[in-house]
A and B are shown apart, each in its own frame.
Chain A
Amino acid sequence: MANNEKRDEVVLQVLDPTGTAVAKRVSLAPAPNTLEGKRIGLIWNSKPNGDVLLEEVAKLLQQRYPTSKIVNGTVFCCGPDEGTLEKIAKEVDVALVATGD
């Protein structure tokens, strides 16, 4: 803290507490221009009714895109670890991930 040239002004300088931002660049995979013939993965986070909503969405997608495939016809369970995510990424073309409550 220091006095500046104005006699009756006090200056307080503090550090930004959020620290340095080390940005990790993550880019999205390009989206397909249609869901025809695509494998659609469903990832449920175990929260109430998330699985039911995903199932209803999946039914509508399959009606609209009869050649699409819901991978395994089931939802993947909550909190997949990195290995599971890599596996899912190989088995699907797009994924719907339920998040929140």
Chain B
Amino acid sequence: MTNLPIWTTPYPIHGLTRNQLRKYAEEGIDDLIYKLTHTPEAPEEKVPKVKPTGMIEFRDIDYADVYEKFNRLFLERRWGDGIPLVPPTREKVDWMLTGTDRSPDEIIARIHPSQRAATVESIATNAVMAGAIPAYMPVIITAVEALDDPCIFKGCAETMGACAPMLVINGPIAKQLDINSKAGYQGPGWRANATIGRTIMLLWDTVGGSIPGWTRMNTTGMPHLFNCIVFAEDREQLDRVGWASYSEEQGFDRETNTVTATAAFLIPHGVVSIPSSVDTAKGVLEVMVKWATPYNHQPGGGPRIIQPTFIFNEVLARLFTKEGWTKDDIKKAYVKLCDEKWSMPIEEYHRTVAATDVWYKQLSEEEKAGMRVPLFTDNPERMIIFMAGGAIHLMHYFSLRRKTGGDWVIREIKLPANWDRVLAEANIKPHPHPVIVVGPSME
């Protein structure tokens, strides 16, 4: 960390009057002027340019006690999520590295907020801690690369808002690794979903130094910060409905493995329940649009900020396809209806959803007079529909904000040359799913 001079005021300054802020300024101005006119001394060089990976040793009379000591130290150092970890011994990390043929020293990304380098080896180390297996490494490494893309919101590891990464996997690898795409896809029970995401979050804790309350300023935190949201699009449901997957929409063929990633404010997100009495495309759209009330969206940031993402299952998809609707038809209609329903007068926008909006403050009175603010994107391509979940009248909705977490990045997963062997050694036994009996309404 540099010795950048920092001037602080009492917290918070939100909600104070100008006079109160002037008082803070007056009380602190001498200190501020000193800091602006004196170059601080360079900090002591404590860390060499490249530090060999250190080993940490624990001793006790039996393994249970040694394991407890390891967990206590790691969790005290905030190298973890609070749940006991798997010890990253040299042997286990070497085992994890068998899942990739990339060099252990290769730097994959810099992790916020510290911007320390995540190498293949440190990724493998955290993957061991998370409880992953070598076969997950290609997905994990690709996800780390994707989340390092310039258009991904790096503040996710630091923000006060509720923000977490999401990873969606497409291609044959989803089934090979038994990444859940059906009922319970966002919940527990699948090692791949749980530990791929947990590795990412542990990287944020360890390599990134993202510590709740200190460097990660989440006001509430959220459950997704344990292991992100990781799922696969369901190929079977897509095929039965006749829809292309998200990765196919982006130009990849169905045999190509991809990770689609974002790091987004999940404000709001939740389950949209479509009443069982609703059985038309128009009816479903009406519920979807009503659910998208901007009052729970935090859409500050100006017009067209909200970008919706829905996760359909085939029951709901068929309510559209039986009337001849395509995915594009749904997106165009939804975006248009949200525009009509959820544009609001600018003063209401300022008062209820965007009180401190930079964009609002830069408008002149003439510009504001009579203005209505359209909140949702008017570009259907910015709306995303994934396919996953159990077969019922429920879908999931995420709202992403353009500029802060509103972008998805898709990357092809490169497999190691010995992938067949990695997979064979993984010996993954998929969890069975109940067989869905297709009824008349789904034909």
Which residues from chain A sit less than 8 Å from chain B, CB to CB?
A: 1, 4, 8-24, 26-28, 30-35, 44, 46-53, 56-57, 59-61, 64, 77-78, 94, 96, 100-101
Contact = CB atoms under 8 A, between A and B. Distances in A.
Contact of A10 (B12, B16, B59, B126): B59
Contact of A53 (B25, B40, B117): B25
B50 interface: yes
Interface in B1-42: 2-4, 7, 9, 11-16, 18, 21-22, 24-26, 29, 32-33, 36-40, 42
B424 interface: no
B436 interface: no
B122 A10 contact: no
Contacts of B207: 17-19
Nearest to B73: A14
A47 B356 contact: yes
A13 B57 contact: yes
Interface residues of B, number: 77
Contacts of B79: 17-18
A1 B89 CA distance: 8
Contacts of B49: 22-23
B3 A28 contact: yes
B61 A9 contact: yes
B62 A23 contact: no
Given A10-B61, A11-B59, A12-B57, A19 B25 contact: no
A83 to B, nearest CB: 12
Nearest to B123: A19
Nearest to A8: B61
B356 A48 contact: yes
A19 B107 CA distance: 11
Interface stretch (B63-71, B182-190, B261-269): B63-71
B351 interface: no
Nearest to B4: A28
B400 interface: no
A11 B52 contact: no
B56 A1 contact: no
B361 A51 contact: yes
A10 B66 contact: yes
Contacts of A32: 36-37
B3 A64 contact: no
A12 B37 CA distance: 51
A28 B32 contact: no
29 contacts: A10-B59, A12-B57, A12-B59, A12-B63, A12-B67, A12-B70, A14-B87, A14-B88, A15-B121, A17-B125, A19-B117, A20-B51, A21-B47, A21-B48, A21-B117, A31-B36, A31-B38, A34-B37, A47-B14, A48-B355, A48-B356, A49-B16, A49-B356, A52-B18, A53-B9, A53-B25, A56-B21, A57-B25, A101-B14
B206 A14 contact: no
Nearest to A22: B117
B89 A9 contact: no
Contacts of B117: 19-22
A46 B79 CA distance: 31
Contacts of B355: 48
Contacts of B51: 20-21
Given A18-B116, A52-B18, A10 B60 contact: yes
A23 B47 contact: yes
